[in-house]
Amino acid sequence: MRFKPLSRLIQKLVPLFLFTVVVLFSQDWLLQWTVRSPAAPPNIEKGATFIRMNAEQLKLDWQKAYRAVIQDLGIHHVRLPVYWDQIEPEPGVFNWESLDWQMQEAVKTDAKILLAIGHRVPRYPECYAPAWTAQLDDAAFKQALFQMLQAAVLHFKDNPALEAWQVENEPHANVMGKIWGVNCRQVLDYWAEEIKFVRAIDQNQHPIVATYADAPWVVAQQRSTLKAPSDILGITMFEKVFFKSPIFNGYVEPYKQLGPISPISLTYQNLLAQRQGKPLWVIELQAEPWGPNGPYDNSQEEADKTMNPELLRTIWQRATKAGVSRIYFWGVEWWMAEKERGNSSMWETGKSLVIQNSQ
């Protein structure tokens, strides 16, 4: 009992300590409050990331699902990850069949494709280097990576569906100093070189996107990403996830629960990008669940906790109020799987958002 006063004192001091840290070390935390949201949401370009592996994991006909995203949902900006282990299973032996089909389908409907290439590309475990690269030292690995980039750019640069390149995915992603992902190598040392390499082979025909995660508190990732020689900035936004760590396991809503260490307002981040002459896109807007067992291996009750029509509208509103020019949904394959199981609420909600302020 004698420890209760001390415990109460600590509880009171912790928020004050966090507030002081924020004020002392993050001018952005203060400056974000000086920026007003646009008077009205602009006409926003709607996009979606489509991943064949996700569709297949959900037992979908992936080609049917891809067509439905473009034709039924009305998505005309599609981001396709280029998985290195799938396109180059053996050194110098390339297989473009799946991507070629998706590009050709886009041509038929005038959809535009953003190709994400590199060592890190969207979808956990983040890094998809072929097994044969595991024994390469860092210098040989870099050489193999650049040879893959060259092959991919040469193969797709003249395709009429191609709109832009994304070079690497969230290369600054670290958790407590450790690179986020599985079997990932550090690419930050030559990330700018990759971007310049792609631009040179592409002959500057298409813009290049650099991405980062919307992390709590500071915008250090954004400021570092702005320094990359890219044309467009892309941010990842998640509204609610199940977080696992050695000290905490549970659901987290970063924008609601973290108080002074919540992510800096998107409106302010958009302003920082504009000052550098770069549009800010929401490259991944959470539109699927992320429960204790990842996105798909949870009960319906658990799935609803981290994604449902109401949560989708909430995060959509948060993004649109910031004045960003384009938003890519993350999780449309799950919408389709839910629809085929008889629950079309996510599909219809997403479709209604695509129709709003359409461009």
Per-residue pLDDT reduced to its tens digit, 32-63: 888 888 866 678 999 999 999 999 999 999 99
For residue range 217-233, list pLDDT tens digits in order.
Answer: 667 789 899 999 999 99
Give domain status of residue 86, yes or no. Answer: yes
Asked whether residue 17 is domain-assigned, the answer is no
User: Does any domain span residue 6?
Assistant: no
Look up residue 263 and give its two tokens. 């992510």
Domain interval for residue 73:
35-355
Q: Which residues pair with 162 in a beta bridge?
A: 113
> 105 lies in a domain?
yes
**Contact (Cβ atoms closer than 8 angstroms) between residue 328 and residue 79:** yes
- Confidence bin at 359 (pLDDT 50/70/90): very low
For residue 6, pLDDT beyond 70: no
* Least confident piece of the model among 155-159, 298-302, 309-313: 298-302
Query: C-alpha distances in angstroms, 13 versus 5, 7, 105, 127?
Result: 12, 10, 58, 41
**9 falls within a domain:** no
- Nearest-angstrom CA–CA distance, 166 and 199: 11
- Tell me if 20 is assigned to some domain: no
pLDDT > 60? residue 254: yes
In a domain, 195, yes or no: yes
Structure-block tokens of residue 283: 């490259």
pLDDT over 50 (residue 18): yes
Write down the pLDDT at residue 294: 86
- Check which CATH number belongs to the domain holding 165 and give it: 3.20.20.80
Give 130-144 pLDDT, tens digit per residue: 999 999 999 999 999
Report which of residues 359 and 319 the model is more confident about: 319
pLDDT (average), residues 322-330? 95
Task: Name the maximum alpha-carbon separation found in the chain.
Answer: 74
Number of domains in the chain: 1
Distance between CA atoms of residues 30 and 164, nearest Å: 34
pLDDT tens figures, 274-287: 999 999 999 999 99
Predicted pLDDT at 175 = 76
3-state secondary structure the chain: CCCHHHHHHHHHHHHHHHHHHHHHHCHHHHHHHHCCCCCCCCCCEEEEECCHHHHHHCCCCHHHHHHHHHHCCCCCEEEEECCHHHHCCECCECCCHHHHHHHHHHHHHCCEEEEEECCECCCCCCECCCHHHCCCCHHHHHHHHHHHHHHHHHHHCCCCCEEEEEECCCCCCEECCEECCCCCCCCHHHHHHHHHHHHHHHCCCCCEEEEEECCECCCHHHHHHHCCCCCEEEEEECCCEEEECCCCEEEECHHHHCHHHCECCHHHHHHHHHHCCCCEEEEEEECCCCECCECCCCCHHHHHHHCCHHHHHHHHHHHHCCCCCEEEEECHHHHHHHHHCCCCHHHHHHHHHHHCCCC
Question: Does residue 244 sit within a domain?
Answer: yes
Mean pLDDT of 284-307: 94
pLDDT at residue 232, rounded to an integer: 98
Q: Which residue has the higher pLDDT, 1 or 93?
A: 93
Q: How far apart are the first and last CA of the chain?
A: 63
1 pLDDT exceeds 60? no
Residue 331 corresponds to which amino acid?
G
Q: Is 251 exposed, middle or buried (0-12, 13-18, 19+ CB in 10 A)?
A: middle
Quick one: pLDDT at residue 217? 60
Q: CA-to-CA distance for 305 and 289, rounded, in angstroms?
A: 8
Residues 289-299: what's their mean pLDDT? 91
Does residue 300 register a pLDDT over 80?
Answer: yes
pLDDT for 10: 58
- Which tokens is 86 given? 């799938």
pLDDT at 182 over 90: yes
Predicted pLDDT of residue 346: 98
State the average pLDDT for the chain: 91
Residue 338 makes CB contacts below 8 A (sequence gap 6+) with 344, 345, 346, 347
